Structure 1
Amino acid sequence: MIVNIQARGTSPSLTKFSEALRSSLRVDAEGAEVLPEWLRQEFTVESTPAEKAEWLNKWRMESSEGQARMEREKGWEMSNWLYWISGENGFWEMKDIVQGDGESLVLVLEVVDWPVPVSALSWLAEKTGVVMEVPAF
């Protein structure tokens, strides 16, 4: 199924969002150095396996609200974020990024089912000052 997500913002913020997203889709072929430097600085430091296990154990004991808080506070590690953006996640794949008018983009996703977890896209939108309009089905 194809789902279109609208991204709205100023021309500079949409350009920043689009360039970061397009570069992230090239990482598998060209390496992480294609990502803009500002984006690489936004990621949290990669955790060790022991740190990941400890965090996950704490997360499992939290309420839904506590889990959401922990996720926000932890931020995104580059490898995890790229996993979701790349399409390897099995839930969705970026098919196209279509320039709309000067203040919008359309992200064309091929999805297995809806809704799908698009928090990696939402995080990038937040970091670039873009507002995503995710459809409700």
Structure 2
Amino acid sequence: MIPPEERRHLNHGPRAGELPGGSGLIEVVLTSTVSADDVVSRAKEVLLVVVSMTAEELVSEAAWAGLLPTWFLDACAPEQSSEEAAAWLACWRALDPDARERAARERPWSVADWLHWLQPEERQWYWWDALVKEEGSASVWVEVLGWPAPLGAFEWLLRAAGAITVDMKQTLS
């Protein structure tokens, strides 16, 4: 999906009868203790900034502090030194598989790590649509280029926006 199309999806959703490209859609079900509508709105706010950038601008991390919302920057982890990253990796490797998955899922992402996965050559998912089901629950559909797709950056965005749980449901066409 090209940025103008994704921007249209973020602002208005898909057109009537519009079909996804790639491998189809993944439904991402989120729950929150805050308004699910707020979670969806916050995620859209961040993605609208990203899709407005050129590939060259996405690389320049210096500008991001002034572009991304403060709530998102505050939710992100501080950048780590190589020593800090190595220490965390050593601790993570010592965990059993379930604890590894939980630790990786619960760990905040740094802005640089998150931006890496938003680079055009890395990104394999695009906002398709969202539906708030009730106060603390929503579904967001993303178009994926293939399956499986690296959706960790999208999951982090939803968690930073206020989601408590994020579950992927394969609904590929």
Alignment TM-score, normalising by the size of structure 1: 0.72
* Greater gyration radius: 2
Counterparts in 2 of 1:36 and 1:115: CA distance versus 1, 3 Å: same
Who is 1:3 aligned against?
24
C-alpha distance 98-52 of structure 1, shift in aligned 2 (>3 A) = same
Q: 1:132 to 1:3 in 2, by over 3 A?
A: farther
Deviations 1:27-69 (A, max 9, x none): 6067313211110111111110111112112222221122224
Structure 1 segments, 4+ long, off by >4 Å, are: 7-10, 99-105, 129-133
Question: Can you give the 5+ residue segments of structure 2 that lack an aligned partner in the other structure?
Answer: 1-21, 31-35, 134-138
SS in 2 for 1:86: coil
User: What is the aligned-residue RMSD (CA, Å)?
Assistant: 3.1
Q: Which amino acid aligns with 1:120?
A: A
What SS does the corresponding residue of 1:134 show, helix, strand or coil? strand
d(CA) in 1 for partners of 2:124, 2:151: 10
Q: In 2, Cα distance between the equivalents of 1:53 and 1:126?
A: 24
Q: Distance in 1 between matches of 2:95 and 2:145?
A: 32
Return the offset for 1:85: 2.9
Q: 1:108 aligns with which of 140, 143, 148?
A: 143
**Corresponding residue for 2:116?**
83
Determine whether 1:20 maps to 2:20: no
Q: How many residues align?
A: 132
Distance 1:98 1:58 in 2: 37
Supply the distance in 2 between the matched residues of 1:63 and 1:102 (Cα, whole angstroms).
Answer: 35
Unaligned segments of structure 1, at least 5 residues: none
Confirm or deny: 8 A CA contact 1:8 1:14 kept in the other structure: no
Distance in 2 separating the partners of 1:67 and 1:60: 7
